[in-house]
Amino acid sequence: GGGSSGAGDMGVGAAGAADPLVWTYAQAFDRVSEARLCLNCTKPVTDCTLPPDAILDTSLYLFCCAACEARHSLKASSGSIRRALGRLERGVCVQCRLDCRALVQQLQCIRYGSTDWQAKRKAIVARMAPQLLHRGLRAALDRLVASPTEGAAWHADHIRPVYEGGGLCGLENLRTLCVACHHAVTAAQCKARAAERTRRRLGTRDIR
């Protein structure tokens, strides 16, 4: 919850349940009409006569329609959006085209604890995804070999990085990257951010 904000004609009202153990939201409202604004699209939520500071015990007035509620749920839940991305791209890395789902299935065929199971699983990785044998990926490799799941094989990567405002976006800003490609992308972004911090500290121009 919260009080009114001082920006423009929009304020922030309380939303969510009164129970402190239940998640609450800061819901925007129109200062003039005092209409609650949809958490997803910021359009007015119709048929709601409750004041902005009212504590809601249901999500009924958080969204303007069922479609917005579904889209917000997808964006806000990492598990939901990962499952949706998995259905869309089927676990195939968009950069190196590694079929992570097929890799995981092959690894799972080698029973944990069976004779030479680790060596056999690593041999599968070497054959299907040699990029995972890179020295900087030792922890990721060990995790995949010990517990071959899709979560250990590929990540949902933000095309527009979170630090550039791409955090609460839908599937249009996500792509499937195997752990090796995701590691490389993350390293490049960290390098770029460090260079940007240095540029700002020195007051030099951005020549990109």
Q: What is the pLDDT of residue 26?
A: 62
Per-residue pLDDT tens over the stretch 83-111 = 889 999 999 999 999 999 999 999 999 99
According to the model, what pLDDT value does residue 206 have? 58
What does the pLDDT read at residue 187?
Answer: 93
Could you write out the DSSP letters of every residue in the chain?
A: ------STTEEEEEEE-SSTTS-EEEEEEETTT--BB-TTT--B-TT--S-TTPPPSSSTTT-SSHHHHHHHHHHH-HHHHHHHHHHHHTTB-TTT--BHHHHHHHHHTS-TTSTTHHHHHHHHHHHH-GGGGSGGGHHHHHHHHHS--HHHHEEEEESS-GGGTTTT--GGGEEEEEHHHHHHHHHHHHHHHHHHHHHHHHT-----
Please state the pTM of the whole predicted model. Answer: 0.65
98 vs 79, residue with greater confidence: 98
